[in-house]
Amino acid sequence: MTLKQQLTDDMKAAMKSGDKDSLGVIRLINAAIKQKEVDERVELDDAAVLAVLDKMVKQRKDSVTQYEAAAREDLAAIERAEIVVIERYLPTKLDEAAILAAIDAAIAQTGASGAADMGKLMGVLKPQLAGQADMGQVSALVKRRLAG
């Protein structure tokens, strides 16, 4: 079952059970997916849907930070609840050791040796680790690994 089909099934289940909070977030997810499909005129696969979900989580984390800085805990709590629902559809996050193992495998595969090869290395890692790791963290680890 594709991720989009799972979202549709979960939306139907939320409607039947009366879970308004989950239903609202799932509708937001579906709208973001549909918007991306319309903008790019393509049918999104699971990897692209994961990228949309990652972006939504990042946006909400940024919002939480802003709301906490403005002492609006009520709005921050809503954003945190949305993050929980969105993360149900993301794969479990990899720990640093697993990310480093993937980086080492990509280095062996591409023959990367220095900072100039970072783009080539990230090009290999991004599809592999999509949704499983924060790409900012991966980038930092790649820089550290290539620096020696």
pLDDT digits 0-9 by tens, 118-146? 888 888 888 888 778 888 888 888 888 88
Residue 89 has pLDDT above 80, yes or no: yes
The pTM is what?
0.74
* Amino acid 129: pLDDT: 81
**What DSSP assignment string belongs to 2-21?**
-HHHHHHHHHHHHHHHT-HH
- Of the candidates 131, 112, 128, 108, the one whose C-alpha atom is nearest the C-alpha of residue 120 is 112
How many whole angstroms separate alpha carbon 23 and alpha carbon 12?
Answer: 8
- Are the C-beta atoms of 132 and 91 separated by less than 8 Å? yes
Q: Taking the chain, what is the end-to-end CA distance rounded to the nearest angstrom?
A: 42
Region 64-70 average pLDDT: 96
* pLDDT tens digits, one per residue of 13-55: 999 999 999 999 999 999 999 999 999 999 988 888 988 998 9
How many whole angstroms separate alpha carbon 9 and alpha carbon 5?
Answer: 6
